[in-house]
Structure 1
Amino acid sequence: MNNVGPIGRLGRYTATHFKQVAIGWGILVLVLAVFAPRVESALSGAGWEASGSESVQARQLIDKNVGGLSSSALQVVVHSKTQTATDPAFQAAIAKATATLRDTEFVGRVIPPQPGLSISEDGHTAIVQGAAAGTSNDMVRAADDAKKGLEKAGADGVEVHLTGASGLWSDFNHANLTAMLKSEVISWPVTMAILVVAFGSLVAAGLPLMLTITGLVAAAGSLFLGAQVLDISVWAFNFAMMFALALGIDYALFMVMRFRSARAEHGDPVRAVTETMDTAGKAVLFSGITVLISLTAVMLVPSPAFRSMALGIMLAVIFVLAATLTLLPAVLGHLDGKVDKGALPWLRSGEARSPRFEAWATTIWKHPKKLGAVALVALVVLMIPVLGIKTGMPSIKVVPSEDGSAQGYALVKQAFGPGAPGQLQLVTTTGEAPAVAKAAGSDRGIARVIPTMTGTGGVAVVPVIPNVDASDPALGTTIDRLRAELPAGTKVGGQPAENHDLEAALSSKTPLVVGVVLGLGFLLLLLALQAPIIAAVGVITNLLAVGAAFGVGRLVFQDGVGASVLGLDSQGFLDAWAPVFFFAMIFAISMDYTVFLLSAAKERWDITKNPRDAMIGGLAGSGRVIFAAAAVMVAIFFTFSLSGPIPPKEMGVILGVAVLLDAFLIRLLLLPAALRLLGKWAWWTPRSLAKVLPDIRFGHA
C-alpha cells in the first residue's frame, strides 16, 4: 500500500471521508439543481449557421437597416381551397394572424399580404410577415410563442400555418425533443434490465444512475448559467443527457467490477477502493480525457450550435468523470459488502476474470489470422459505400409532415412556385440595386425577381426566387454563381444561402477536426500505454468502426435501403453535420472501450512481460465490461432510430452501428487478434521515447 499513485491516494481519501465527499457533492448538486429545471427554456433554438459568413452578414444588415425582413422573419401562410383573400372568413383569418404576430415578443412590424407579391394569382393563398426585432434565436422563441395563437386563427375552411426558417427550426427542435424523450422512455426498461444482469445486483445496478443523475443535474444547471451570457443550443442539453448516461454506465461498470475483485482479495474496503482507483481509476481518467479531447475538436467548427453542443457534452463528461473519481469510490467504500445486496443467483462478486471471455481470448490466441480476417473483411465491406457518400443541409423532410412549417412550405411551393420557400436576398447599395436586379434576373437559376426593398444607410435588398426547391443541390451552384457574377460588394443571403455557407464550413473543417481527434487520441494512448505501435493500432481500428458505421448510414439515409422499415423518406444524402459531429462522438465512445481493453492488457504486461498473458488477461478482465456497456449503448441508440424525424434516426442508426461493430468486431475480436500477432512488439517502447514519457502503470503494487 506504500507505492500508491495520486489517483489511488484520492481513492483512499474518499473512502475514509465519505460524509465530507457526500456533503460536498450534495451541496453542489442542490445549488445547480435550482437552475436545472429552467435549462430548456433558457437555451436557444437556432445557431445553425457559419459565424461571420456572407449570408449571416447579409441577415444582420437586413435586420438592422431593412426593417427586420430577413430570413429570420416569421411567415404565416393563410390558405383555403374554397375561399379567396377577399372573402370575409379569409380576411378574418388574416386579421387574427396579424394580431397574433403583433402581440408576439421579438416581432417588429407586421406586413399584410400584398397582391402580386404575397397573394397567389388564384387568391387562395396569402402570406403575412412578422419582421425580426431580435436575433435568430429570439425569432425561434417568437415562433414557439406565435404558434399557440395561430392555432386558433383558422376557421370556416381557412387554414393558418407558421412557416419560414424560424418556424421550421421551432418545429424541428420540438419534434426532435419529443422523439428523444420518447426514445429514452423506451430505452430505460431495456437499460435497467441489462444493468441488473451486468452488475448482478440491484444495488450495484443503481450506481450508474447515481453518476448519470449527478452529472446530468450539474451539467443542466451549468448550461442554464452559461446561457445567461452565451447562446447555447437546446441540443446541448439533449446530447449531454445521452453522454451522461453512456459514461455513467461505462465508468461504473469498470470501477465496480474492479472493486469487487479487490475486496474479495483483501477484505478491507478502504484497501479495495485504493487499489480500484490506482488501476481502473487511471483508465477512467484517461478515457474521460480522451472523450473531452475528441469533443474539443468540434469547437473548431465556426458555428454556435456545434460549439455549444460540444460544450454541453463536455460539461456532462466533466461532472460524470469527477463523480466517478470522488463520489463513486466514497460510496463503494461506504457500502462495502452491501454493494452486492439484492444479488442475482449467478453473481460471483470476487471474479476478476470472466471465464467465458478468457475462453474466447484463448480461441483468438489459437486462430488470430482467421478470426481477425473475418472481422477485418466485414468492416472493409461495410466501409466501401463511404466512397460515394453525399451530404447536404436538412430539407423540409426533417420536419414531420403534419407540422405547420411543413404544411406551410408545401402551400407556398404550390402557390408561388418550387423555389418560393427558398427565397434568396441580395443585399447591396441603393445605387447598385438596379444592376443587381438585372443581373439576377438574367441568371438561369432565378425564376423571378421581386421589387427591391430599400432601407437606411443606403442599404437595399433585392429578393429573388430560385427555380428549384430549397433542398435541390442545384441551388448551391446558383448561389456560388451569383456571388461570382453580381456587382462587387453584393452579399447573397437568405436561409438557403445560410445553409450553403454552413455546409461549406463543415466540409472545410471536417479534415482538420478528424486530424486533430486522431492526432491527440494517438498521443493520449501513447502516454497511457507507453507503446507507439499498439497506440497507433488502437486509433486505426477506431477509424474502421467509424467508416463502417458511415457506410451503413449512406446505404440507409442516402440510398434508402431499409428506409421503409424505419419509416423515413430518404433525403438522398446524409445531413452535413453528420461526418464531423458523429465522427467525434463515435471516436469518443470507441476510445472508451479501447482504453478499458488496452489498460487491462497493459496491467498484465507490466506484471508478467508475457504477450499471451497480456492479451488473454486483458480481454478476460475487460471483456464483460465492454460487452455490457456496449449492449446498453446499442439499445439506447437504436431506440432513436425507431421514432421521430430523420436526424434522430440518423444519429441512432450510425451511432448504434458504430458501437455494435466497435465493441463486438473490433475490441472483442480484431484488436485482441492484433495483440496476438504483434506479440511483444505491441508493447515495445523506443529508448529515446521512454526517456521523455512519464512512467504510467495500470498495475497496483
Structure 2
Amino acid sequence: MSTDVQPAPPGAPDEVPATRPGPMARLGMWTADHRRWVYAIWTVLVVGFGIAAPSVFNSLAGAGWQANGTESVQVREITQDHFGGNSSAAIQVVIDSKDGRLSQETIDGIVNDVRVITATDPRLKNEIIAPMEGMTISQDGETAIAIIGANASTDDMVKAVDDHKDELIALSSDQVDVFPTGSSALWSDFNKANHDAMIKAEMISWPITLAIMIVAFGSVVAAGLPLLLTLAGLVASAGGLVILNQVTPISVWAMNFAMMFALALGIDYALFMVSRFRAAIATMNEGLPPEERDSHSIRHRAAAETMDTAGKAILLSGLTVLISLSAVLMVPAPAVRTMAIGIMLAVTFVLAASLTLLPAVMAGLGSKINAASLPWSKGKYGISPTFQKWGGFLHRHPWGPAVIALGILIALSIPVFNLKVAMPSITVVPEDAPVRQGYEVVAEKFGDGAPGMIAIVTAEETAQKTSEMTAANPNIVAVMPAQPAQDDSGWVLIQAMPKTDPSDEQMAVTIEQLREELPRSALVGGAASENIDLQDALNTWFPRVAATILVLGFLLLLIALRAPVIALLGTIVSLLSTAAAFGVAKLIFQDGHGSGLLNFDPQGFLNGWGPVFFFAMIFAIAMDYTVFLLATAKEHYEHCEDPHQAQIDAMAYSGRVIFAAAAVMVAVFFTFSLADPLPPKEMGIILGVAVLLDAILIRLVLLPTILRISGKGAWWSPRWLDQVLPKISFKH
C-alpha cells in the first residue's frame, strides 16, 4: 500500500458512533458534565492527604531489610530478648582516641554520658554494655566500643539513631572521636543520604521535565497540565503512605521510588491524554463557524473520545504496571514489599487523576488548552509528520532497521549472564557519614571482619563444642568467650570474628560452613548473616517473580488486544529491553566502565534488590509503551482493517507522544545519576538506560517492523479464543 496516504483522524466529525458509548467514554462524559464535583473531590483528597504528606520522610520506617523467617532473624530476636539487647540492631558507640591509649576514666565518662542520653528512651535497653578488655577494647587500647542494647523493632531502632545521633557525635572532644555505628546506624545514615539525593534530583528534574514538555506540546498550558496532575497524585500518595504506615511499617524507600516513578508515569499518561484531546477538539472544531466552535457539546464529545481511546490504553497500562509490581509482594522482605506498595499507591492515585481530574480539566479548557502556544507549535489531528514519514520508511524497509535494533539489544543483553548481585557494602554511604567513619575505625583497630561479627546462639550443653568448632574454622580469626543469657532461657551467645570484610564473597561461604558444621542447636546470625539470608531469598524468589510478571503481562495484553501473536511478541520484546538494561548495568556498576565519569567506586556487583525490583519496574515501563503503541495500532486497524496502514498510522499518532514521554522519563531518571549515594545512582541509570533502549530501539523500530512484517497475522485470533475473551475495542 502506498505510504503517502494521509491517516484519517479517528473521531472526525463525519463519523457517527454506531453503538452506545462504552464505560470509558461514559466516564469521560460524566467528568465533563460534573467538573465541579470532580474538582471538589480532588481538592478534598489532596488537602486531606496533604496534611499528612509533609511528615512522610520522618514517619516512614527506616529498616525492614531482612528475609522473614530466616535463621539470622531468629538469632536477632533471641539476642535482643535474652542478652541485654545485644543484637544486630544494637547501636555500637565507637570511642576512638586521638592521642594514645584511652584511660578507664575517659571510657567510663563517655559511657555515663551515653547512659544519660538514652536513659529515657524506651526503645533502648536501660543498661549500656560497657567496653571490655579482650573483646571490645582494641589491643593498642586506643579504641573502645560501647553497646546500646536494642529494645524495639529494627524500624524503631533506626529512628532511635535518628533521634540521638547528633547527641552521641557531640560527645567527641579534642581527645576522642565518638561515632555511632552498626546496622541501625548504617540505615539511618543511608536513608538520610538517599533522601537528600532524591530531593536534589527531583528539584533538577522538574524544570527539565517542563522544558521538554513545552517543546513537545508547543503550549505552556498543555505542558503544565501533566505536572499539576502528577503533583496532585504525589501529594495524595505521600499522605496515603503516612496513614498506611500507622497500620503496618512502610519503608521510607517506598516514597523515594514513588516520587520518581509517579512523576515519570504520570507525565506519560498525561502526555497521551492531552495529545489525544487536542487532536479530537481540533478535528471537531474544523470547518465550523467561530461562534459554534468549542461548544459544550464539542468539549463533551472530545472528552468522551479521549477517554474511549487514550483513556482505555492508560487504564490497561496502569493495570499492567500494578500487576508487575504486585508480583514483588511475593518476596518475604518487608522493605522490598513496602517499596512495591508505595509505588503501587502512587500509580493508583496518578491513574485515578488521569482518568477523572485530567479529562475534567481538559473539558473545562476546551481549545484554551492550546493557550500560550509557541511559534513552532504545529500539527493536525495529533499527527506528527516526522513520525508519519518514519513509519512509512519502516513500512518500505522493515528488515534492515529490525536486524540492527535486534542486534544491538542482544549484544547489550549478553553481559547479563555474568551479573553478580550482593547486598550493599559500607561504601554506599558518603565518606563523611558517622557510620562509615566508625566502621573504618573498627576495621582498622580490630580487624577487617570486626564490623561483621557473627552471632551464634546455642544451648548450654553444646556451647563448649560450638566454640571449639567455630574456632577451628579457617575463616574465623577470633572467638569471644561464651556469654550465658541474662535469664534462665538456657541460651548461650558466642561471637566470632570472620577473616574477611562483611561484603566479601567469602563471608557467605563462612556462614554456610558454620551452619553445616555446628551442632543442630546452634543458630548462626549477625548483621552480615541477615544480608546474606536476604540475598538468598531475593535470588530464590527472582525467577518466580519474573515468571509471574511475564505471564500476567502477556495475559493482560492478550485481553486488551484480543490478538495472541502480537501480545506474545510485545511481551518478548519488552523482556529483551529489560535484559539489555541489566547488561548495561553489569558493565557500569560491576565492571566499573564509566565509573569515573559518574563519580562512584564500583562494588564489583549490583545491589542485591536490583534484579527483583528493577525487573518489575523496567518491565512495567516497557509494557506501558507497548500498550500505547499497540492500542493505537489496534484502533486504526479496527477503522481501516489494513494492517500496513495501521502500522503507519500508529507511528503517526503515537510516535511523538512516545518519544516525548521517553525523553521526560530519561530526564527524570538520569537526574538521579547525579546522586552521591550509589543506590539512587544505580536506580536512575538503570531505569534511564532501559527507557532509552526501549523507546528508541523497540517502540520506534522493532515493534513497528514486527507489525509490518507480520501483517494481518499480528491481529489474528482463533475463533474459540475470540469467543472467550471480553469484547474490548479501541475504535471510537
Q: Matched residue of 2:149: which SS?
A: strand
The partner residue of 2:348 within 318, 327, 352 is 318
The partner residue of 2:562 within 530, 542, 557 is 530
| Count of residues in Structure 1 that have an aligned counterpart in Structure 2 | 700
Are positions 1:158 and 2:191 aligned together? no
The answer for the alignment partner of 1:285 in structure 2 is: 315
1:94 offset after TM fit, Å? 4.7
5 Å-filtered alignment, 1:434-449, equals: 434-449=464-479
Whether the 8 Å contact between 1:603 and 1:699 is mirrored in structure 2 is yes
1:646 offset after TM fit, Å? 1.0
The answer for the alignment partner of 1:145 in structure 2 is: 163
The answer for the alignment partner of 1:205 in structure 2 is: 223
The answer for the alignment partner of 2:408 in structure 1 is: 378
5 Å-filtered alignment, 1:304-343, equals: 304-343=334-373
The partner residue of 1:40 within 57, 64, 74 is 57
Q: Matched residue of 1:353: which SS?
A: coil
Whether the 8 Å contact between 1:83 and 1:158 is mirrored in structure 2 is no
The partner residue of 2:209 within 177, 186, 191 is 191
1:349 offset after TM fit, Å? 5.9
The partner residue of 1:257 within 275, 279, 287 is 275
Whether the 8 Å contact between 2:209 and 2:664 is mirrored in structure 1 is yes
Whether the 8 Å contact between 1:513 and 1:580 is mirrored in structure 2 is yes
5 Å-filtered alignment, 1:85-484, equals: 85-86=102-103, 92-108=109-125, 109-267=127-285, 268-348=298-378, 350-455=380-485, 456=487, 457-484=489-516
Letter in 2 for 1:588: A
Whether the 8 Å contact between 1:426 and 1:493 is mirrored in structure 2 is yes
* Alpha-carbon displacement from aligned partner over 1:116-174 (angstroms, at most 9, x marks no partner): 11111111111111000111111111111121102211111311111111111111101
Q: What is the percent sequence identity of the aligned residues?
A: 52
State how far apart, in whole Å, the 2-side matches of 1:266 and 1:296 are: 41
1:92 offset after TM fit, Å? 4.5
Q: Matched residue of 2:674: which SS?
A: coil
Q: Matched residue of 1:431: which SS?
A: helix
State how far apart, in whole Å, the 1-side matches of 2:200 and 2:228 are: 22
The answer for the alignment partner of 2:601 in structure 1 is: 569
The answer for the alignment partner of 1:540 in structure 2 is: 572
Range 463-472 or range 195-204, more displaced: 195-204
* Alpha-carbon displacement from aligned partner over 1:101-128 (angstroms, at most 9, x marks no partner): 4355511121121111111111111111
Q: Classify 1:562/1:230 alpha carbon distance in 2 versus 1 (closer, same or farther; 3 Å).
A: same
Whether the 8 Å contact between 2:111 and 2:128 is mirrored in structure 1 is no
Are positions 1:20 and 2:37 aligned together? yes
Q: Classify 1:11/1:260 alpha carbon distance in 2 versus 1 (closer, same or farther; 3 Å).
A: same
State how far apart, in whole Å, the 2-side matches of 1:49 and 1:91 are: 35
Q: Classify 1:349/1:21 alpha carbon distance in 2 versus 1 (closer, same or farther; 3 Å).
A: farther
Are positions 1:50 and 2:73 aligned together? no
1:578 offset after TM fit, Å? 0.4
Letter in 2 for 1:416: F
Whether the 8 Å contact between 2:398 and 2:708 is mirrored in structure 1 is yes
Whether the 8 Å contact between 1:84 and 1:90 is mirrored in structure 2 is no
Are positions 1:60 and 2:77 aligned together? yes
State how far apart, in whole Å, the 1-side matches of 2:470 and 2:209 are: 56
Q: Matched residue of 1:148: which SS?
A: helix
The partner residue of 1:666 within 698, 703, 718 is 698
Structure 2: runs of 5 or more not aligned: 1-16, 286-297
Whether the 8 Å contact between 2:323 and 2:549 is mirrored in structure 1 is yes
**C-alpha root-mean-square deviation of aligned residues, in Å?**
1.3
Whether the 8 Å contact between 2:462 and 2:521 is mirrored in structure 1 is no
Whether the 8 Å contact between 1:36 and 1:220 is mirrored in structure 2 is yes
Range 370-379 or range 261-270, more displaced: 261-270
State how far apart, in whole Å, the 1-side matches of 2:77 and 2:553 are: 39
1:247 offset after TM fit, Å? 1.7
* Alpha-carbon displacement from aligned partner over 1:182-238 (angstroms, at most 9, x marks no partner): 111122221110011112211111111222111111111111111112011000111
State how far apart, in whole Å, the 2-side matches of 1:235 and 1:105 are: 26
1:333 offset after TM fit, Å? 0.6
State how far apart, in whole Å, the 1-side matches of 2:40 and 2:203 are: 31
1:96 offset after TM fit, Å? 3.3
State how far apart, in whole Å, the 2-side matches of 1:434 and 1:553 are: 47
Q: Matched residue of 1:161: which SS?
A: strand
- Moved segments of 4+, more than 4 Å: 87-95
Range 625-634 or range 142-151, more displaced: 142-151
Are positions 1:551 and 2:583 aligned together? yes
1:97 offset after TM fit, Å? 3.8
5 Å-filtered alignment, 1:592-631, equals: 592-631=624-663
5 Å-filtered alignment, 1:644-659, equals: 644-659=676-691
State how far apart, in whole Å, the 2-side matches of 1:570 and 1:468 are: 19
Whether the 8 Å contact between 1:527 and 1:694 is mirrored in structure 2 is yes
The partner residue of 1:7 within 10, 20, 24 is 24
* Alpha-carbon displacement from aligned partner over 1:533-571 (angstroms, at most 9, x marks no partner): 111111111111111111111011111111111111111
Range 293-302 or range 178-187, more displaced: 178-187
Q: Matched residue of 2:720: which SS?
A: helix
Whether the 8 Å contact between 1:612 and 1:676 is mirrored in structure 2 is yes
State how far apart, in whole Å, the 2-side matches of 1:81 and 1:122 are: 13
Q: Matched residue of 2:374: which SS?
A: coil
Q: Classify 1:59/1:90 alpha carbon distance in 2 versus 1 (closer, same or farther; 3 Å).
A: closer
State how far apart, in whole Å, the 1-side matches of 2:144 and 2:318 are: 54
Whether the 8 Å contact between 2:674 and 2:681 is mirrored in structure 1 is yes
Normalised by the size of structure 2, how large is the TM-score?
Answer: 0.94
State how far apart, in whole Å, the 2-side matches of 1:194 and 1:28 are: 29
Whether the 8 Å contact between 1:102 and 1:110 is mirrored in structure 2 is no
Range 8-17 or range 31-40, more displaced: 31-40
The answer for the alignment partner of 1:500 in structure 2 is: 532
1:99 offset after TM fit, Å? 3.2
Whether the 8 Å contact between 2:273 and 2:311 is mirrored in structure 1 is yes
Whether the 8 Å contact between 2:169 and 2:180 is mirrored in structure 1 is no
* Alpha-carbon displacement from aligned partner over 1:490-514 (angstroms, at most 9, x marks no partner): 2111001100100000000000000
Letter in 2 for 1:594: T
Whether the 8 Å contact between 1:450 and 1:464 is mirrored in structure 2 is yes
Letter in 2 for 1:247: L
1:590 offset after TM fit, Å? 0.8
Range 601-610 or range 202-211, more displaced: 202-211
Range 447-456 or range 367-376, more displaced: 447-456
Whether the 8 Å contact between 1:637 and 1:656 is mirrored in structure 2 is yes
Whether the 8 Å contact between 1:286 and 1:528 is mirrored in structure 2 is yes
Letter in 2 for 1:440: T
Whether the 8 Å contact between 1:428 and 1:459 is mirrored in structure 2 is yes
Whether the 8 Å contact between 1:258 and 1:352 is mirrored in structure 2 is yes
Letter in 1 for 2:445: A
The answer for the alignment partner of 2:592 in structure 1 is: 560
1:348 offset after TM fit, Å? 3.1
